[in-house]
Amino acid sequence: MESTSLVSFSLILCFTILLFGSTGVEARRRSSISSLITENLYNSIFLHKDDNACPARNFYTYNSFIQAASCFPKFGNTGDVATRKREIAAFLAQISQETTGGWATAPDGPFAWGLCFKEEINPQSNYCDATNTRWPCFPGKSYHGRGPIQLSWNYNYGPAGRAVGFDGLRNPEIVANNSVIAYKTSLWFWMTVQTPKPSCHDVMVGKYVPTAADLAANRTAGFGLVTNIINGGLECGIPNDARVNNRIGFFQRYAQFFNVTTGPNLDCANQRPFS
C-alpha cells in the first residue's frame, strides 16, 4: 500500500526538484505518464474544459497535470501498460464527474465536459467538522469542494496541505487558485490510504486486500469501489444512482481513448459505504 509517509517523502523530493526551477517541460520529461497521455489526448478527453461556459476555463492545463503527477511516481506507473492506462483513465473519469459541466444533450455528449468547474457552486455549508480537533477549522474559512477531486472538509484540507506544501486550514482557497496545487491535492487523495478506506490507487492496480468488514459490505475491487472511497456516503448502496452512472459513463469513454477495458464491478449499488 502507498502509505502517507511514502507519499510525503515523494512530495519532499518533488519540492526539492521544483525549488530549483523545474519547468512544466522538465516535469513532463521526468514523468513517464506523458508517454501514455499526451497533450493531444488530454485535450481530446477534456474537449470543452476551456469553453467560455466553463468557470474553470484555462485553469486545468496539461502541464499542471503532468507536473503534479511527477510528484507521485507510482501514479500511472504501477503494473503493466494496460493497468497503468486504466488507472489514469479511472482518475480522469472520477475528477470529471466531480467537475462536470455536461448535460444530457450537451455538444459532443455529456461526458465531454469534465474539468468545467474548479470549486463548488453555492456550497450548503462551510464543511467544518468542529469535532475534529486534529485539523481544527480556522475562523472564517470554508472547506467546500475545490480542485479536480473537489477536496472537501477540514479533515481533508489539513493533511492534504501538509503533504502537498501549503496551509490547508488557513489557506484553502489556493486549491482553486493554483492549478498545480489543485492537481496535487487530487492525486494526494487518490494515492493515500485513509483507514478504513484503501487508496484509490491500490484498488485500480490490484493491490487492494479486503478486510473482513469489506467482504461483509460487498466492497469488491473495481471502479465502483473507487467511487465508494470518494463519495460512497452519498452515492453507494443505491440502485441505479445517476451520479454513479455518470462516473461510469466518463470511465467508459476514457477507457476507449486509452484502448483498455474498464474491468468488472463498475458500480457500487450493492456496496455499503465506509463508516
**Do residues 133 and 266 share a domain?**
no
Q: Please, what is the average pLDDT of the chain?
A: 92
pLDDT tens digits, one per residue of 144-160: 999 999 999 999 999 99
Average pLDDT over residues 262-275: 96
The one catalytic residue in 2, 87, 98, 235 is 98
Average pLDDT over residues 11-27: 46
Is there a domain that residue 212 lies in? Answer: yes
Average pLDDT over residues 54-79: 97
Instruction: Kindly give, in sequence order, each residue whose CB lies less than 8 Å from that of residue 46, ignoring residues fewer than 6 positions away.
Output: 60, 96, 112, 114, 115
Structural contact between residues 266 and 245, judged by C-beta atoms closer than 8 angstroms: no
172 residue type, one letter? P
Indicate the pLDDT class of residue 22, thresholds 50, 70 and 90.
Answer: very low
Closest by CA position to 187, among listed 272, 90, 118, 270: 90
Per residue, what are the HEC states of the chain? CCCHHHHHHHHHHHHHHHHCCCCHHHHHHHCHHHHCCCHHHHHHHCCCCCCCCCCCCCCCCHHHHHHHHCCCCCCCCCCCHHHHHHHHHHHHHHHHHHCCCCCCCCCCCHHHCCCCCCECCCCCCCCCCCCCCCCCCCCCCCCCCECCCCECCHHHHHHHHHHHCCCCCCCHHHHHCCHHHHHHHHHHHHHCCECCECCHHHHHCCCCCCCHHHHHCCCCCCHHHHHHHHHHHHHCCCCCCHHHHHHHHHHHHHHHHHCCCCCCCCCCCCCCCCC
Is there a domain that residue 5 lies in? Answer: no
CATH number of the domain to which 141 belongs: 3.30.20.10
Q: What is residue 10's predicted lDDT score, i.e. its pLDDT? A: 47
CATH number of the domain to which 258 belongs: 1.10.530.10
Model-level pTM greater than 0.85? yes
For 214, the domain range is 34-117+193-274
173 is catalytic: no
- Percent of the chain beyond pLDDT 70? 89
Query: Packing angle between helix 242-258 and helix 223-235, nearest 10 degrees?
Result: 160
Q: What is residue 156's predicted lDDT score, i.e. its pLDDT? A: 98
**Do residues 106 and 214 share a domain?**
yes
**Do residues 152 and 198 share a domain?**
no
**Do residues 61 and 108 share a domain?**
yes
**Do residues 97 and 205 share a domain?**
yes
Q: What is residue 14's predicted lDDT score, i.e. its pLDDT? A: 66
Map grid coordinates 486550514 to a residue.
Answer: 169
pLDDT tens digits, one per residue of 204-258: 999 999 999 999 999 999 999 999 999 999 999 999 999 999 999 999 999 999 9
**Do residues 100 and 198 share a domain?**
yes
Is there a domain that residue 12 lies in? Answer: no
